[in-house]
Amino acid sequence: MKGKIIKNSDNINTKIREILESLISKQIFDAVFVPVRVPTGESFTYLLIKDKNILKDCIPLPPIMSVQGARAFKDLTRLGKLKYKILCVMRPCEIRAMIELSKLRQVTLEDVSFLSLDCPGVYQTADYIIEPEKYDKSFSSLLEKWEPEGLRPNCRVCNHFSNQEINSDLHIGFYDQSLILVPLTKKGEEIFTSLGFESTDDLADWENRKNELLRRREEIRNKTFTELHNQTNGMEGLENFFKGCINCHNCMRVCPICYCRQCFFESTDQLRRESEDYLIRTEKKGGIRFPVDRMLFHLGRMTHMSLSCVGCGVCEDGCPMDIPVGQIFNFIGDEVQKMFEYLPGRDKDEPIPVLTYKEDELHEYEDAQETK
């Protein structure tokens, strides 16, 4: 693979900022959508930026993911397509979620271009806010070492941390104090040339390291998934896994894929019931717990969105009870995605498996009389 290597980029944020500034100056884009550190310093947010002076403060690759980029973006195109051109600077899993939302018709990607970045992972927000300086420091060395320790659990097992099978336009990788620019689409090619770059550099070193990292990640991934599988065997295992869950639905609220304005589990249909209804359920079960439908919420959410789960882990980051909810969704997502040979965010034209069908398929599920 060929691309452009920019040497001596020890501060990657500064280098990427220069690129973004130049794209705004050249009027290739009207604005960029990029993470910025909030003035109080301990958190980050996405800003839609037009002004080059504000762009100076952006942190394209922050050490935490306080909000999932796709979730942040959603409001922008609620009323239809953009009337200007923007560049979204995001981590790979955020772009994947954007692609899934476009398939679910929750965002419109016309006039949106993507700049994806090599992502070594993020720290857990709860850890970060206690010692931000310490984590800022260790994050800067993370791009050299790529150690899984201390990262969000889903990041430790992520196998799509770079330009692997992603519907992005332009990718920036990091290797040996250099920035690696790789156009991935025609659009990306145009952005790339407008910056005055040519694909002349050989990227073998970066690619070899990427493959080595992937190999290491896959190892941890397989091991972790096997453990998760064993832990969640049968309803007993599953209940044990979720034992601390307080049914607050926070995991759903921060998830980029869960887009329903009103979740079924919070709908009047589900929650406004005659008191007798509950008594009938009590008679059958001996008792029912309140708030109701806790396991139904988790299993139901899996049936609704696991095909599109990008494994970002914000759900787990947002869980007040430290339930490994991101890990179990990542695991089950992987299972169902493999079954349909589907990968969220790979291609915007690849339909989500439950939104399409083949006439002649899945006959093993018809009249299946599984015996115990």
Which residues sit at the interface with another protein, rule CB under 8 A?
A: 229, 232-235, 237-239, 264, 281, 284-289, 292-296, 299-300, 302-304, 306-307, 332, 335-336, 339-340, 353-354, 356-359, 361-362, 365-372
DSSP letters for 86-115: EEEEE-HHHHHHHHHHHHTTSS--TTEEEE
Residue 159 interacts with ligand SF4 (CB under 6 A)?
no
CB 227: neighbour CB atoms within 10 A? 12
Q: What's the min distance (Å) between Cβ of 275 and another protein?
A: 17
Residue 228 interacts with ligand SF4 (CB under 6 A)?
no
Residue 70 interacts with ligand SF4 (CB under 6 A)?
no
**Closer Cβ to another protein, 198 or 335, answer by number:** 335
Q: How far apart are CA 36 and CA 17, in angstroms?
A: 11
**Closer Cβ to ligand SF4, 117 or 325, answer by number:** 325
From the list 131, 140, 141, the residue with the least C-alpha distance to 41 is: 131
**Closer Cβ to another protein, 197 or 264, answer by number:** 264
CA atoms within 13 A on the CB side of 198: 1
Helix (H, G, I), strand (E, B) or coil at 171: strand
Burial of 214 (0-12, 13-18, 19+ CB in 10 A): middle
> Could you say which of another protein, ligand SF4, none residue 302 binds, taking C-beta under 5 to 8 angstroms by partner kind?
another protein
Residue 311 interacts with ligand SF4 (CB under 6 A)?
yes
Residue 304 interacts with ligand SF4 (CB under 6 A)?
no
Residue 28, both tokens: 């290739």
Q: How far apart are CA 89 and CA 156, in angstroms?
A: 22
Q: How far apart are CA 312 and CA 176, in angstroms?
A: 26
Residue 321 interacts with ligand SF4 (CB under 6 A)?
yes
Helix (H, G, I), strand (E, B) or coil at 180: strand
Q: Which one among 115, 191, 312, 328 touches ligand SF4, defined by CB under 6 A?
A: 312
- Strand 86-90, strand 112-117: pairing: parallel
> Could you say which of another protein, ligand SF4, none residue 250 binds, taking C-beta under 5 to 8 angstroms by partner kind?
ligand SF4
**Closer Cβ to another protein, 176 or 239, answer by number:** 239
Residue 314 interacts with ligand SF4 (CB under 6 A)?
yes
**Closer Cβ to another protein, 38 or 296, answer by number:** 296
Site string for ligand SF4, 250-269 (x = CB under 6 A): xx---xxx------------
Residue 95 interacts with ligand SF4 (CB under 6 A)?
no
DSSP 58: B
Q: Which one among 248, 279, 280, 354 touches ligand SF4, defined by CB under 6 A?
A: 248
Q: How far apart are CA 140 and CA 63, in angstroms?
A: 9
Interacting residue ranges for ligand SF4, rule: CB under 6 A: 245-251, 255-257, 309-315, 319-321, 323, 325-326, 329-330
